[in-house]
Structure 1
Amino acid sequence: MVLLEVAEIRTEPVSGAAVLLLREADGRRHLALWIADPEKAAIADAINETEPVRPLTHDLLARVIAVLCEEEPQCIITKVEDGIWFGELVLGDMRIDARPSDLVALALRLPVPIWCTEEVISTAGILLDAGPEDALEEFRHFLDEVSPDDFGPGPSTSG
Structure 2
Amino acid sequence: MSHEMIIYGIAVDTKGNSPVIILKDKATEEKILPVWVGVLEATAIATSLQHITYDRPMTHDLLKNFVSHMHMRVQKIEISDIINNTYHAKIYFSSQDYVFSLDARPSDAITMAIKCNAPIFASETVLQESLPKKAFTYSNAQQEIWDKSEEGKKWLDYLDSLAPEAFGKYPA
TM over 0.5: yes
Number of residue pairs matched by the alignment: 126
1:67 aligns with 2:81: no
* Higher RCO (CA 8 Å, separation ≥ 6 residues): 1
Unaligned runs of 5+ in 1: 127-159
Structure 1 vs Structure 2 CA RMSD = 1.5
- Report which of the two structures shows the higher radius of gyration computed on alpha carbons: 2
Aligned partner of 2:23: which letter? L
Task: Determine if contact 2:87/2:105 at 8 Å carries over to the other structure.
Answer: yes
> 1:71 and 1:40 mapped to 2: Cα distance?
23
Structure 2 alignment gaps of length 5 or more: 133-172
**CA drift at 1:3:** 0.4
Q: Percent identity?
A: 22
Distance 1:9 1:45 in 2: 12
TM, length-normalised to structure 2: 0.68
Give yes or no for contact 2:73–2:116 (8 Å, CA) kept in 1: no
Counterparts in 2 of 1:70-149, with a 5 A limit? 70-92=72-94, 93-125=99-131
Structure 1, residues 10-69: CA drift from partner, whole Å, max 9, x if none?
Answer: 222232111111010011100011101111000000111111121100111112112314
Alignment partner of 1:50: what SS? Answer: coil
Q: Distance in 1 between matches of 2:20 and 2:49?
A: 15
Residues 46 and 109, structure 1, Cα contact 8 Å, conserved in 2? yes
For the 8 Å contact 2:91–2:109, the answer to whether it is kept is yes
Please, what TM-score do these two structures have when normalized by structure 1? 0.73
Q: Which residue of 1 aligns with 2:10?
A: 9
1:24 aligned onto 2:30: no
Task: Assess if the C-alpha contact under 8 Å between 1:66 and 1:110 holds in 2.
Answer: no
